[in-house]
Amino acid sequence: MSAPVITGHGLVKHFGPTAALRGVSIDIQPGEVVAVVGASGSGKSTLLLCLAGVLRPDEGEVHFRGTRIDDASEAERSRLRRSDFGFVFQFGQLVPELPAIENIALPLLLDGVSRREAMTRAAEWSGRLGVDDVGAKVPGELSAGQQQRVAIARALITGPSVVFADEPTGALDSLAGEEVMLLLAGLARAEATAVVIVTHESRVAAYASREVLLRDGAVVTRAGVA
Amino acid sequence: MSVPYALLGILERGPAHGYELKQESDAVLGSPVQFGQIYSTLGRLEKAGRIRLAAEEPGLGPDRKRYEITADGVEEFRRWLAEPVAPEPRLQATLFTKTVLALQSGLPADEYLDAQRAAHLGRMRELTARKVDADISTALLADYALFHLEADLRWIDQTRARLETLRQEVTR
Amino acid sequence: MIRLGLRLAGRGGHGALARLALMAGAIGVGIALVLVLVGGTVGSLRRSERTNERNVPSQQGGYSAADEGLLWAPQELQAPRTPTVTNIAVAALGADPPVPPGTSGIPAPGTVLVSAELRRRIEAGTIEPPPGRVAGTLGPEMLGRPDDLVMMTGWELAALRAADPQAQMVASFPERDDFTNTGVLLENGDWPSALIGLPFVLLGISILLLPVLVLVGAGARVGARRREQRLAALRLAGATPHEMRVLTAVEGAVAGLAGSAVGVVAVVALRQVAIEQDAFFFADLTLPLLWVGLVVVMGPLLAAASAALAMGRVATKPLGPAREVPEPVGRRRWSVLAVAWVVFLIGIVATGNDGLDGAIAAWIVAIGFLGIVVGLIVAGPRLV
């Protein structure tokens, strides 16, 4: 087994008096799809945000490709977000003022890629996600399913090592959710990108090769494929 | 299908008459079972060495026969509880039966439910893996099973969350 | 990065345009207020300095027969149903009396120098001709408003002494760089005794700043939710805190530049109106370019600074769904504003007494005003 791409070790996180994570450890192998499941309040989203370097754990460490990231500066972790990590959240993640195609290109533009190249790659990815016909529209003019596909394109355009998805189908109806998951799973497999997906839906968790079950901030079972 | 195990489960708590067995197995199985089926099942279980006749009470007729479980029977019953059912759509009341029986016997129903959950998810993973990069008919066929499995999982999660309340109710 | 910021600022749709308009309007009003109030006050002070110097020349005093100078006797002529005309009766003393500013020479006895407006009305017949021959025009040095009615009549020495025994003699008139500055009260004539009037100007400004604050607050509330979304999205896409500050500072600067433009245009327009009404000479209303430039630049700077400061908190907030309502201004920041306001008021009250206290009071006032500005910057992130 090769080295894990992301590891969290002994993660503890409090929000005021509430303990969201009480010592969680997890390894994500390159290219694998892992589902983090559990009831509301079990700490799933907190775990995801800690692994992604968005939240700093109170205790414990997070390593990305062997380098510790939980104690990195905000600037360094921001750079991780635009080159090595991709994000697909439930909603509220696209810049309302920019058209879809520029939203997709945003991480590249922030990383200093030339505008022309960024837009070319964005056009390619919007085609793969089936939103090239609405590229000029702003998020407010898109359906929820289209918005999520734009978000996936944005997450994948940088060729990330890991995509972090938090309830990606939460705001979608059954059919749109199905399309989104098929796209995400298929493209991640094609690009050999690891996916950590937080969900409370079993049919979404079924896209993962294994699941990590959280209850009250601790890992309960690890059901895996032999 | 679960009738023999329902009977074993009831007897696991202590010996009982045919009439008691009939009443309790009705409740546990979720639908009534014919007397005839009960007695024929009891016969088979006895022949297989899972149960035996307890000391007879003086009384009139076969209703007064009391059965008790054997060590074999206990082992078989527990094996059946711990082993996840082959996940297929519509398990009927089997999962319910297993849960109630386990609670009544003071056995770890939560573990059984967790194991069942894992088995269901494993099956769902297999089915879902078929869906990725597949054509629509393949995907929809898999989806049929997936939706039902999801329904089961929902029940499992709900029951898991309310296990304590259920335990108090069925062990009264 | 700046290009991205400009694009974000420009593409907001209705909400962002309204927000931009309100903030630009607020900054424009603020700048216009400052420039108009200060300019107006300075202009008035310059005006009244000139007329004071005219009516009571600083170099006048008693005299003896051997002195050389100009007898100087101003008087107000008021006839029923005619506007007031200021008449300065002058008589030469000695062989080489000083030439009054605004004239090419002392009017000979029996001749009159008249102001432009007075000459116009005499020629139009709307006012009685003065006693004596009109020999020339009085320049702006002798006037307050451009349309003042002023004349200077030449007298024989003995006649004037008899008519006005109290009249004093002016030995000399001080040099002036240009007509606006009498060169009497301050050595560098750019700032007449404005320090005396400035605290009241600042009081007026700060009172009028309240509607500005209201406008800024209203502008902040418009489109605040979408702004939160935008910031969260940028952070998620990997913008570093520094980059986010630059982006929002650009947005603030755009509003500030627009506001400066609005303010300057408003001030120039008002100045034109004032001059056309003959209320002020053009030179009266000019302020030092450096000072004007500073005020104009303050607009975009304040807006950009408060926008960038606002980033300090957003950059470290955990990501989550956008909040519905922006948080109200924190209590601590209001108290900073309140303290600055109190210091400011103390300064105003203290300035009531002139003399030694005046300079100190002016400093207190200046610090108090600065405190308000700082308080705005600190509280501004909550508002902006």
Q: Give residue-wise pLDDT tens across range A41-64.
A: 888 999 999 999 888 999 999 999
CB proximity A185 to B under 8 Å: yes
Candidate ranges C63-77, C190-204, C352-366; pick with highest mean pLDDT: C63-77
Please work out, in degrees rounded to the nearest 5, the angle formed at the alpha carbon of residue A161 by the alpha carbons of A113 and A116.
15
Residues of B in contact with A208 (CB under 8 A): 125
pLDDT digits (tens, 9 = 90+) for C210-261: 656 666 656 666 666 777 788 888 888 888 888 877 877 777 777 778 878 8
Mind listing the pLDDT tens digit for each residue in A111-152?
888 889 999 999 999 999 999 999 999 898 999 999 999 999
C111, β-bridge pairs = C133
Most B-contacting residue of A202, A209, A216, A221 (CB-CB within 10 A), to test interface: A202
Task: Say whether pLDDT at C384 is over 70.
Answer: no
C-alpha to C-alpha distance for C369 and C384, rounded to whole angstroms: 20
CA distance C267 to C35: 7
The more confidently predicted of residues A28 and C265 is A28
User: Cα–Cα distance between B167 and C378 in angstroms, integer?
Assistant: 60
Contacts of A78 in chain C (CB under 8 A): 235, 238-241, 243
Q: Mean pLDDT over residues C260-285, rounded?
A: 82
Confidence grade of residue C331 (pLDDT, cut at 50, 70, 90)? low
Mean pLDDT of chain A: 89
Chain A CB contacts of C241 below 8 Å: 74-75, 78
> Out of B62-66, B129-133, C296-300, C307-311, which region has the weakest mean confidence (pLDDT)?
C307-311
pLDDT value at position C339? Answer: 66
Are A223 and B127 within 8 A, CB to CB?
Answer: no
- Indicate the pTM of the whole model: 0.65
Within 8 A of A34 by CB-CB distance, chain B residues are none
Percent of chain B surpassing pLDDT 70: 90
pLDDT (mean) for C326-348: 59
* DSSP letter, residue A140: G
- The percent of residues above 90 in pLDDT, for chain B, comes to 48
Chains contacting B with at least 3 CB pairs below 8 Å? A
Residues A189-196, mean pLDDT to the nearest whole number: 92
Please check the confidence at residue C192 and state whether its pLDDT lies above 70: no
Do residue A92 and residue C322 have CB atoms under 8 angstroms apart?
A: yes
Long-range contacts formed by C312-315: CB under 8 A, 24+ apart: C312/C245, C312/C381, C313/C381, C314/C228, C314/C231, C314/C235, C314/C244, C315/A74, C315/C235, C315/C241, C315/C244, C315/C245
Average pLDDT over residues C16-35: 75
Contact at CB, A205 and B120, closer than 8 angstroms:
no
Tokens linked to B131? 């869906």
Contact C26, C269 (CB under 8 A): no
CA-closest candidate to residue B163, choices B122, B92, B112: B112
In tens, the pLDDT along C126-174 reads 888 888 888 888 888 888 888 888 889 998 888 888 888 888 888 888 7
Highest mean pLDDT (candidates A174-178, B46-50, B93-97): B46-50
Mean pLDDT, range C89-98, rounded to an integer: 85
Mutation choice for C interface testing from A110, A114, A115 by most C CBs within 10 A: A110
Within 8 A of A205 by CB-CB distance, chain B residues are: 121, 124
Do the Cβ atoms of C318 and A98 come within 8 Å?
no
Distance of alpha carbon C80 from alpha carbon C75, whole angstroms = 16
CA nearest neighbour of C251 among C198, C213, C307: C307
Tokens, residue A135: 């590229």
Q: Which residues of C261-274 are buried (b: 16+ CB within 10 A; e: fewer)?
A: bbbbebbeebbeeb
Chains in touch with C (3+ beta-carbon pairs under 8 Å) read: A
Q: Which residues of C199-238 are buried (b: 16+ CB within 10 A; e: fewer)?
A: bebbbebbebbeebbebbbbbbebbbbbbbbbbbbbbbbb
Tokens of C36: 């108009």
Q: Beta-carbon neighbour count of residue C105 at 10 Å?
A: 11
